[in-house]
């Protein structure tokens, strides 16, 4: 039996925690290096997990044995389902979490050998460099010149590489309030040949909840009692806490316009681009001048704090301007700011230099995961950490396909397309097979793979097998149970409020009607099986959407065939019929497969067909 590989993880944020836990589950010895234990899984921005498409990532992490979902469940203050009026493919979940309990619960997972699977060592320190032998990473070097030998290193440095915080004219080095920047490591990576760029992120002011006129604000509805992410739900829930809604107005917007000359994103003080889909309030006022108001979400940060996060009011305007903005918002006239908003500018590494295992293609043993790869969001970071952790622990690539998981879409987008000069955020629109990649079936998609890889606990696998058996039994009942078009059948249909069938109809056939759901089957049939809500959801989806799912699986199979066609690294794309522009895009990107080439912006289906013909001729000859 080969010796356990030693993996060192630099950073203990969301990517670092999932990387460490995944590497342990995959059999490695793991050391996590961070400046402080208080940095473990900090919620530096909003105190929430999930959201559109992000909730899918959280459930996939859970299906692969990761910790984010169950930690979020144990720290959950409010749970909501999003896009419920739309199709299943774009529905997702979001949890408001306690800002102190979440990192505490994750630290327990990380540092408790029983929870983590054993083998996580925590070292306080700053990583300043890497040790290479024959071009391969063999250790990390701390700021005090201590070297920790390793077989692989995973950089999960977040927003800290050469980081600078901006608020008005103030400029402070650091990647988060109270935490310093990592300049030496950034310089070392640049010296090793990594292509580094600059990006920007930001955060909002936090308010003292005791100074808010809550009765003048609207309560946010649509919460899901006892909602949860994990397929192994918690046995206890925290008390539910309400979030509230507020709005800016023309007065606020004019105040912002009057102070744009002091906004770092407009003065040129910040060079990096921020996330397009999470703009600052000053950016929103400039980009959408026709809007007379913008929605704000007031989100309590926890049960043991009075601080309130103002979602939608990210800003790097000066402190006194932030005070004036808050005082102009109805319901917040007397509110006191507990922490001012600010922007962070930081180095990121071009993810196109990585393989699908998130290992640097020019430096074996070096993996990168999280915001250092140009992504935004806790969930995107955690997903990358899991992939890098398993891959580094095994020394083999752990790769998920675009038709298998949102995680596969995320990683493939990063290494194939890059981030396009702005922080990458996951959206359901990025997943071409999103009907197959729903939140509700993440366990059915990924737990068999996780079990085969040794990433899933016996208890989680046993729960999954019981669920699968219940689904199979319920679907068999649906196929066998029948409703006759007789007097009794018509009576039951009248009671259910549906048209009776003209001929004998099975429960499965009835379920294909838009108006029929699992609960209604209980009115139509006395012997309908009693199953839990998750089982019922799977049965209804499998039957009601069978035709759509079959077509999507066939489309995914065609995509897989394209992914199996490798493109030579030295392929000359200057082929008859392929435009100079498309050939140049292909030359610069050097996609690994025909499928990856098809996903490049500007590469036409006609060009892909020509490439396929060219490759086929080459193979035949």
CA-to-CA separations, 119 to 4, 19, 203, 397, 427, in angstroms, rounded: 11, 13, 35, 22, 35
Q: What is the CATH number of the domain that holds 330?
A: 2.40.30.260
Helices (H) and strands (E) in the chain, counts: 22, 23
Integer Cα distance of 411 and 534 in angstroms: 28
Q: What is the CATH number of the domain that holds 580?
A: 1.10.150.570
- Locate 531 and state its tokens: 């199953």
Per-residue pLDDT of 28-75, as tens digits, reads 999 999 999 999 999 999 999 999 999 999 999 999 999 999 999 999
Q: Judge if 323 and 212 occupy the same domain.
A: yes
Look at residue 79 and tell me if it is in a domain.
Answer: no
Look at residue 611 and tell me if it is in a domain.
Answer: yes
- Do 101 and 241 touch, CB atoms closer than 8 A? no
Per-residue pLDDT of 463-477, as tens digits, reads 999 999 999 999 999
Q: Judge if 493 and 575 occupy the same domain.
A: no
Q: How far is CA 247 from the centre of its chain?
A: 28
Integer Cα distance of 483 and 178 in angstroms: 67
- Dihedral of CA 328/332/335/340: which sign? negative
Quote the domain boundaries for residue 470: 458-550
Look at residue 254 and tell me if it is in a domain.
Answer: yes
Q: What is the CATH number of the domain that holds 489?
A: 1.10.10.1800
Q: Judge if 599 and 514 occupy the same domain.
A: no
Position 152 scores a pLDDT of 98
CB-based contacts of 386: which residues, under 8 Å, 6+ apart? 18, 19, 22, 61, 64, 66, 407
Q: How many residues does the chain have?
A: 621
Place of tokens 């060219």: 614
Q: Judge if 318 and 256 occupy the same domain.
A: yes
Per-residue pLDDT of 161-214, as tens digits, reads 999 999 999 999 999 998 999 999 999 999 999 999 999 999 999 999 999 999
CA angle 218, 224, 230 (to 5 degrees): 135
Per-residue pLDDT of 513-541, as tens digits, reads 999 999 999 999 999 999 999 999 999 99
CB-based contacts of 458: which residues, under 8 Å, 6+ apart? none
Report which of 218, 194, 474 is spatially closest to residue 361, judged by C-alpha positions. Answer: 194
Look at residue 555 and tell me if it is in a domain.
Answer: no
Q: Is the pLDDT of residue 291 over 90?
A: yes
- Do 407 and 57 touch, CB atoms closer than 8 A? yes
Integer Cα distance of 211 and 196 in angstroms: 43
Integer Cα distance of 550 and 558 in angstroms: 13
* Domain limit, last residue, from 340, 365, 395: 340
Q: Judge if 463 and 528 occupy the same domain.
A: yes
Q: Judge if 544 and 573 occupy the same domain.
A: no
Q: Judge if 570 and 535 occupy the same domain.
A: no
Per-residue pLDDT of 414-465, as tens digits, reads 999 999 889 999 999 999 999 999 999 999 999 999 999 999 999 999 999 9
**Who wins on pLDDT, 510 or 588?**
510
CA angle 220, 223, 228 (to 5 degrees): 140
Integer Cα distance of 293 and 328 in angstroms: 12
Q: Judge if 541 and 590 occupy the same domain.
A: no
To the nearest whole number, what is the mean pLDDT of the chain? 94
Q: Judge if 212 and 324 occupy the same domain.
A: yes
Report which of 93, 49, 51, 56 is spatially closest to residue 72, judged by C-alpha positions. Answer: 49
| Exposure class string for 134-146: b at 16+ Cβ within 10 A, else e | eeebbbbbbeeee
* Number of domains, the chain: 3
Strand arrangement of the beta sheet that strand 206-208 belongs to? 218-219, 244-247, 295-300, 307-311, 206-208, 337-339
Look at residue 105 and tell me if it is in a domain.
Answer: no
Reported pTM: 0.94
Q: Judge if 499 and 598 occupy the same domain.
A: no
Range 278-296 average pLDDT = 94
Compute φ and ψ for 405, nearest 5 degrees: -165, 150
* Domain limit, last residue, from 340, 361, 391: 340
Q: Judge if 214 and 328 occupy the same domain.
A: yes
Structural element, H or E, at residue 31: strand 29-34
Integer Cα distance of 376 and 425 in angstroms: 6
Look at residue 125 and tell me if it is in a domain.
Answer: no
Report which of 382, 375, 365 is spatially closest to residue 414, judged by C-alpha positions. Answer: 375
Q: Is the pLDDT of residue 581 over 70?
A: yes
Look at residue 219 and tell me if it is in a domain.
Answer: yes
Position 117 scores a pLDDT of 53
Q: Judge if 270 and 306 occupy the same domain.
A: yes
Virtual CA dihedral for 549, 554, 557, 559, nearest 10 degrees? Answer: -90
Q: Is the pLDDT of residue 1 over 60?
A: no
Range 125-140 average pLDDT = 97
* Domain limit, last residue, from 340, 373, 398: 340
Integer Cα distance of 421 and 411 in angstroms: 17
Look at residue 94 and tell me if it is in a domain.
Answer: no
- Do 52 and 419 touch, CB atoms closer than 8 A? no
Report which of 32, 27, 117 is spatially closest to residue 67, judged by C-alpha positions. Answer: 117
Per-residue pLDDT of 71-89, as tens digits, reads 999 999 999 999 999 988 9
């Amino acid at each position: 039996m080969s010796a356990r590989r030693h993996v060192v993880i630099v950073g203990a944020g969301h990517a670092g925690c999932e990387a460490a836990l995944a590497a342990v589950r995959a059999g490695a010895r793991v050391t996590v290096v961070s400046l402080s234990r208080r940095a473990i899984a900090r919620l530096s921005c909003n105190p929430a997990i999930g959201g559109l498409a992000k909730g899918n990532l959280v459930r996939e992490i859970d299906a692969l044995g990761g910790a984010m979902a169950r930690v979020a469940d144990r720290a959950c203050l409010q749970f909501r389902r999003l896009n419920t009026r739309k199709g299943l493919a774009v529905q997702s979940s979001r949890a408001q979490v306690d800002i102190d309990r979440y990192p505490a619960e994750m630290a327990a997972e990380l540092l408790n050998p029983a929870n983590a699977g054993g083998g996580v060592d925590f070292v306080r320190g700053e990583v300043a460099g890497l040790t290479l032998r024959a071009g391969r990473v063999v250790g990390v070097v701390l700021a005090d010149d201590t070297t920790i030998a390793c077989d692989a290193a995973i950089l999960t440095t977040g927003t800290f590489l050469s980081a600078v915080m901006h608020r008005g004219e103030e400029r402070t080095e650091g990647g988060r309030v109270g935490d310093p920047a990592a300049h030496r490591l950034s310089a070392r990576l640049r010296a090793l040949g990594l292509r580094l760029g600059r990006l920007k992120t930001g955060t909002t002011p936090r308010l003292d909840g005791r100074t808010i006129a809550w009765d003048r604000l609207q309560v946010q509805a649509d919460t899901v009692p006892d909602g949860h992410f994990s397929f192994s739900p918690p046995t206890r829930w925290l008390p539910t806490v309400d979030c509230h809604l507020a709005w800016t107005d023309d007065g606020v917007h004019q105040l912002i316009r009057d102070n744009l000359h002091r906004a770092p994103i407009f003065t040129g003080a910040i060079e990096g681009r921020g996330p397009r889909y999470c703009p600052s309030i000053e950016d929103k006022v400039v980009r959408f001048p026709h809007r007379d108001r913008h929605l704000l979400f007031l989100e309590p940060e926890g049960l043991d704090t009075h601080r309130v996060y103002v979602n939608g009011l990210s800003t790097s305007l000066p402190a006194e301007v932030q005070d004036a903005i808050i005082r102009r918002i109805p319901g917040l006239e007397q509110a006191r700011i507990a922490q001012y908003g600010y922007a962070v500018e930081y180095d990121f590494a071009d993810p196109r230099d990585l393989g699908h295992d998130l290992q640097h293609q020019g430096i074996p043993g070096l993996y990168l995961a999280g915001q250092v790869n140009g992504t935004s969001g806790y969930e995107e970071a955690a997903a990358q950490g899991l992939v890098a952790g398993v891959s580094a622990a095994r020394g083999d690539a752990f790769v998920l396909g675009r038709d298998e998981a949102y995680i596969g879409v995320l990683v493939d987008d990063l290494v194939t397309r890059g981030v396009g000069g702005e922080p990458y955020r996951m959206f359901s629109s990025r997943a071409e097979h999103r009907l197959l990649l729903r939140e509700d079936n993440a366990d059915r998609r990924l737990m068999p793979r996780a079990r085969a890889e040794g990433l899933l606990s016996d208890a989680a696998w046993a729960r999954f097998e019981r669920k699968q058996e219940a689904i199979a039994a319920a679907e068999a009942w649906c196929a066998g149970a029948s409703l006759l078009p007789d007097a009794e059948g018509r009576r039951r249909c009248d009671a259910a409020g549906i048209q009776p069938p003209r001929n004998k109809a099975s429960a499965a056939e009835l379920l294909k009607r838009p108006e029929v759901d699992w609960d209604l089957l209980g009115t139509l049939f006395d012997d309908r099986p009693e199953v839990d809500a998750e089982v019922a959801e799977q049965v209804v989806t499998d039957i009601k959407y069978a035709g759509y799912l079959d077509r999507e699986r066939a489309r995914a199979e065609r995509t897989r065939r394209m992914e199996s066609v490798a493109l030579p690294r030295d392929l000359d794309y200057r082929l008859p019929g392929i435009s100079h522009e498309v050939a140049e895009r292909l030359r610069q990107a050097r996609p690994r497969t025909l499928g990856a080439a098809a996903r490049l912006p500007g590469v036409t289906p006609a060009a892909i067909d020509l490439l396929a013909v060219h490759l086929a001729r080459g193979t035949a000859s």
